[in-house]
Amino acid sequence: MNAYSESYLAEAQDWLAEFLETSVYVLNKELNEAWMTFILSRYSIRLESGDPFTICGKSGSEVAFIIFGEERRELPFIYDRPPEYWLGWALAYYQWYRNIPFHFITNHIDIETILLMYKKYHEIDIAHFCDEMDRLISTHKKETSLKRLRMSRGLSQKDLSNITSIPIRTIQQYEQRQKNINKAQANYIFLLAQALSCSPKDLLEY
């Protein structure tokens, strides 16, 4: 089952493509910063569920200015769409096609690695890109969401343990997948999400 109605797909692809293009080429953000900012924002959750407000309300370019707190200015005319535009377009399609959260994709494949696929896949059927994404996700086991979010906040495991009162050994076991965080106590998930300023859903493994 796809993530949402196909009637919204083209708009969603354009939305994410414009967001990345504007973030990188107009606001001069690093690709990884732009992508992680999107992932950690409410817009990623709205987009992956086909929320019409996100898709048809404000454009991806407008949201880029909002998220980064930049004053809106006239966009330059871009004759040739850059690889980052294709990246957003292709990722929106893949997320819709597989019905998986954007953060799940990021947990398995670096955004820079996906960008490198542009040269081979941008002029051929999107199905080939989806097949390669499936292969990469199945063969690459990246760090857990918990570890990625903790490190992005500049916290050590000891820091997180002190903030949440969760034993440091338990945090280590979640990060090393010795324990399944999906089966963690509800209060543990709540405390971790609160400490890391994220949604409880962002901590789960898919």
**What is the rounded distance in angstroms from the CA atom of residue 70 to the CA atom of residue 46?**
22
Q: How far apart are CA 52 and CA 8, in angstroms?
A: 8
pLDDT digit string, tens, across residues 87-136? 999 999 999 999 999 988 887 888 999 999 999 999 999 999 999 999 88
C-alpha pair distances (Å), 172 with each of 164, 184, 199:
14, 13, 20
For residue range 14-52, what is the model confidence (pLDDT) as tens digits? 999 999 999 999 999 999 999 999 998 889 989 998 887
DSSP 63: H
Structural domains of the chain, with CATH: 6-139 (no CATH), 145-203 (1.10.260.40)
What are the pLDDT digits (tens) for 4-14? 999 999 999 99
The model carries a pTM of 0.69
pLDDT at 61: 92
Q: Measuring CA to CA, which residue among 105, 71, 70 is closest to residue 88?
A: 105
According to the 3-state scheme, what is the secondary structure of 107-154? HHCCHHHHHCCHHHHCCCCHHHHHHHHHHHHHHCCCCCHHHHHHHHCC
pLDDT of residue 120: 96
Confidence of residue 78 (pLDDT cuts 50, 70, 90): low
Q: Among candidates 96, 103, 105, which has minimal Cα distance to 51?
A: 96
Write the CB contacts of 42 (distance below 8 Å, at least 6 apart in sequence): none
